[in-house]
A and B are shown apart, each in its own frame.
Chain A
Amino acid sequence: MHEFLAQLFNGIALGGIYALIALGYTMVYGIIGLINFAHGDVYTLGSFFALTIFTALGVSGELHGVALIVDVAIALIGAALLCGIVGVLIERLAYRRLRNAPRLAPLITAIGISFILENAMQIWKGPAPVPFPAVVPNPSIVIAGVAVGAQQFLLVGLAVVMMVALQLFIHNTRLGRAMRATAEDRDAAQLMGININKTIMLTFLIGSALAGVAGFVSGVYYQSTWFFNGFGAGLKAFTAAVLGGIGNIAGAMLGGFVIGIIESFATWKFGGQWSNVTVFAILILVLVFRPSGLLGEAVYERA
């Protein structure tokens, strides 16, 4: 029971990271029907940006008081902003020209961008995992006899706050309404005077910024990052988005936590070498038996 709870809490923390990444997948898929394969690498880029900012600020160990809040805020916002810009650039360079091309064409460029980003990060920080400073203090809190790090609460709290903010934004602002309209019917939205290019850019900005937040969080939480992290994490987050129902924001959150918990339990029960196999098997099973996901509507063939 003790181990069960410990793994559950680990899974929820991991799931928070997947959920944040999954939001970007689901938003982009919802609006332009593209599996943005490079999204996982934007997430890794977020942790690299955060690390670089901490280094620039001279942070190498645990912070306290005002310095903690200020430095963390700078790194978090900086990583999110830079990732957002990268996301917008990727859309502009690699996807926009292909918006009306056969659907597989932008998927192929997305894979290309992913490889380019991975290679760039490998050259930037080297091929080995890079240590990340333990910035945030991590006192343990005991719940039902299980010691849980305070960071896990912060992580999950941050993820939930981001998701609620995103929901509010999408449902209560003009820009959010424009996004929903564009996702629903791009041509009709354009006729209603919505600037499609700007709306899609905004989607990439927000989705990539959330990936940046996830990258920051994972760096702080795991105290390490690696240029190739985004490949696996991206696939798992995509699995989460599909499991939740792609295009559905609440579904991405749910899917993220479910996948995080499943991975955590798979690692515990079968060993870490089986966790990827488990998650990808779930991906295949969900796509085969319930491609609309847990919360999604039926998907129709759109050529």
Chain B
Amino acid sequence: MIYLYFLVAIAVVIAAQRLNDLRAKRVLFLLLGAALLCAPLFDRNDATFNVLADAGIFVLLALGLNIVVGFAGLLDLGYAAFFAIGAYAYAMMASPQFNLHLPFWLLLFLAAAFAAIFGIILGAPTLRLRGDYLAIVTLGFGEIVPQIFQNLTKYTGGPNGIGALDFPSFFGRSFGQSTIPYYYVVLALIALALFFAYNLRDSRLGRAWMAIREDELAARHMGINTTAVKLAAFALGASFSGLAGVVFAAKLSLVSPDLFQFQVSVLIVSMLVLGGMGNIPGVIVGALVLVLVNNVVLPQANTIAASAGLHVDFGNYHFFIYGAILVGIMLFRPEGLLPSRQRKEELHHAAA
């Protein structure tokens, strides 16, 4: 059953990518949105919507990182740090930890703002670095942030993290244990993120990002303030991650430092690489495919193996899958499985 949701969503996104007619594209997306909105009316399986909400959180993360990596061409290997900042913002301000119980909806905006501020703090001194050095600096940042959360035990609960986070409520009605309200929140945030991502891409700022991605020197000489524009990419990308962090923390009702390790950053990069960096439908498909593999296919494979009497834990092969995707795609199809036409040209032109 769960496969049906993923396959339909992936198929619709791929179809939308293939269509040239803008209006048909929109209709297709709206139909998918309507179908996803109605789904809980027919299917009341909480576990399904748990997986779908997780998938949605990763779609959000992929859309956010796509602004940084896909649009502006800045490899960010520490994106999970902003996710952690969003999650901890919720955990510290809506839990018994400090006896603060700010509303979920307010914290969504606050966390997005926090994450954006940290994006600027990290980006301001480092964005003039060359691409590969920037990647390593972001990696270092991504290592430092969860480590600091782990070390400041007094404020963050240390390695155990913070638990018993508040359930969000909507007009006085608590979300409770059900996962369906989170599913709706995630859908709404994705719609918002898509609106921003598409409009940013087609804005003056978006064109500036792509100009920088293709040739930074030329872009600078065309009068683009490259530092400011890159900083905008960092801040906006980070804010998506902050939003995703709040929903993630609230849904899990728990945060701990080990949820935001380097592997998470690489997982999101893998989603972009798989789907096609810079192409919005591509990164959505990349995120859906990898969540499907991680949260559905591998656990099922374990069950099947166990029933066949085999003691294999396919959960041990996560790293291998991400690694194989990164190597295989970059070697044989650097534009990803579902690229935009423009990006494909660029990459093949550059390689020639």
Contacts and interface: CB of A to CB of B under 8 A. Distances in A.
Given A115-B319, A277-B151, A109 B326 contact: yes
30 contacts: A93-B327, A100-B351, A101-B330, A101-B334, A101-B350, A102-B347, A103-B131, A107-B132, A108-B273, A109-B326, A109-B327, A109-B330, A112-B322, A112-B325, A112-B326, A115-B323, A115-B326, A119-B317, A122-B316, A122-B319, A235-B143, A276-B144, A280-B144, A281-B144, A287-B129, A287-B133, A288-B126, A291-B129, A303-B216, A303-B217
Interface of A: 33-35, 93-94, 97-98, 100-109, 111-120, 122-123, 127, 231, 235, 238, 242, 273-274, 276-277, 280-281, 283-284, 287-288, 291, 299, 301-303
A130 to B, nearest CB: 16
Contacts of B317: 119
B339 to A, nearest CB: 14
Given A103-B131, A277-B151, A116 B324 contact: yes
A94 to B, nearest CB: 6
A299 B129 CA distance: 11
A280 B129 contact: no
B220 to A, nearest CB: 11
Interface string B115-133: 0000000000110011111
B151 A274 contact: yes
B320 A115 contact: yes
A111 B326 contact: yes
Contacts, number: 129
Contacts of B334: 101, 105
Given A115-B320, A277-B148, A109 B331 contact: yes
A303 B219 CA distance: 14
Interface of B: 73, 75, 77, 125-126, 129-133, 135-137, 139-141, 143-144, 147-148, 150-151, 215-217, 262, 266, 269, 273, 316-320, 322-328, 330-331, 334, 347, 350-351
B135 to A, nearest CB: 6
Contact of B147 (A100, A231, A276, A301): A276
B266 A115 contact: yes
Contact of B132 (A35, A114, A115, A127): A35
Contacts of B141: 280, 284
A149 to B, nearest CB: 29
A114 B129 contact: no
A267 B73 CA distance: 37
> Main SS of the interface on chain B?
helix
Closest 6 CB pairs of A and B: A112-B326, A115-B323, A116-B323, A112-B327, A280-B140, A119-B319
B131 A104 contact: yes
A114 B136 CA distance: 14
Contacts of A281: 140, 144
A101 B332 CA distance: 12
A251 to B, nearest CB: 16
B320 A235 contact: no
A263 B325 CA distance: 34
A269 to B, nearest CB: 14
Contacts of A103: 131-132
A98 B330 contact: yes
A287 B193 CA distance: 33
Contacts of B126: 284, 287-288
B129 A112 contact: no
Contacts of B150: 273
Contact of B316 (A104, A119, A283, A299): A119
Contact of B327 (A34, A116, A231): A116
B262 A118 contact: no
Nearest to B148: A277
Nearest to A280: B140
A139 B313 CA distance: 44
A127 to B, nearest CB: 8
Contacts of A100: 351
Contacts of A231: 262
A11 to B, nearest CB: 20
B129 to A, nearest CB: 6
B84 to A, nearest CB: 14
B238 to A, nearest CB: 17
A98 B334 CA distance: 10
Contacts of A242: 136
A119 B323 contact: yes
Nearest to A299: B130
B350 to A, nearest CB: 5
Contacts of A34: 132
B218 to A, nearest CB: 10
A178 B350 CA distance: 28
A127 B318 CA distance: 13
Contacts of B347: 101-102
Contacts of A301: 130, 217
A128 to B, nearest CB: 13
A288 B128 CA distance: 8
